[in-house]
Structure 1
Amino acid sequence: MKKALSCASISHLEQLPNVGKAAVADLHLLGITEPGQLKGRDPYQMYDELCSLTNTRHDPCVYDVFISIVKFMDGDPPLAWWHYTAERKAHLASPSSL
């Protein structure tokens, strides 16, 4: 029987759900080197900071990955990044996010 993934069992960024080499590199650019540093972060702010640091507009799916890993480290169950696409679209469409 496979053990359920929990934030308490994560000690390396590579162990986070939805995170591969590219996401680890992005997180390192943001100064995030340990999973615990994601707790309480604003994934939208993280995305904006990444775009600013790299002078590149990244794929919107990066938002979804950031949302998924922040929520996971804040205690939500591990979900695929695309689970957060509708949430991201709604957030970015709201006047308060501008």
Structure 2
Amino acid sequence: MHPAKVDRQRLRRLTDLPNIGPAMAGDLRLLGIQEPAQLKGRDPYQLYEALCLRTGQRHDPCVIDVFLSVTRFMDGHEPRPWWDFTAERKARLASR
């Protein structure tokens, strides 16, 4: 869902989250995440690594940005577009 349309009071399905459409919701389900509340306190980088392991392929690093956006949102931050997290992801991965 587009971040500007997210209603925190109506988070029942994964696609109710900012930046999550049907395909990304499917990826989250592959990781055992069935509802938005299960993203609270999760590490977006670990989610990404788990997805790559589960599917047997390296996913676009922008998936990390999406995971950053939804985990932060579920931890109480305002909804933001996934691309707002690209610079943060690049800086963190460069520092490894």
After TM superposition, the score normalised by the length of structure 1 is 0.89
Give the paired residue count. 93
1:84 matched to which residue of 2?
85
Max radius of gyration: which structure?
Answer: 1
Taking the aligned partners of 1:55 and 1:94, their CA distance within structure 2 comes to 25
Taking the aligned partners of 1:32 and 1:80, their CA distance within structure 2 comes to 21
C-alpha displacement at 1:13, in angstroms? 0.4
Name structure 1 gaps, 5 residues minimum: none
Q: Residues 15-94 of structure 1 correspond to what in structure 2 (within 5 A)? A: 15-94=16-95
C-alpha displacement at 1:10, in angstroms? 1.0
CA 1:41–1:20: 2 relative to 1, 3 Å: same
C-alpha displacement at 1:81, in angstroms? 0.2
Name structure 2 gaps, 5 residues minimum: none
Alignment-mate amino acid for residue 31 of structure 1 = G
Root-mean-square deviation (CA, aligned residues, Å) is 1.5
Alignment-mate amino acid for residue 83 of structure 2 = W
Q: Alpha-carbon deviations, 1:55-80, whole Å to 9, x = none?
A: 10001110000000000000000000
Q: Alpha-carbon deviations, 1:11-66, whole Å to 9, x = none?
A: 11011010011100100000000000000000000000000010100011100000
C-alpha displacement at 1:4, in angstroms? 7.0
> Share of identical aligned residues, percent?
57
CA 1:4–1:56: 2 relative to 1, 3 Å: closer
C-alpha displacement at 1:93, in angstroms? 1.1
Stretch moving more, 6-15 or 79-88: 6-15
C-alpha displacement at 1:8, in angstroms? 4.0
Alignment-mate amino acid for residue 57 of structure 1 = R
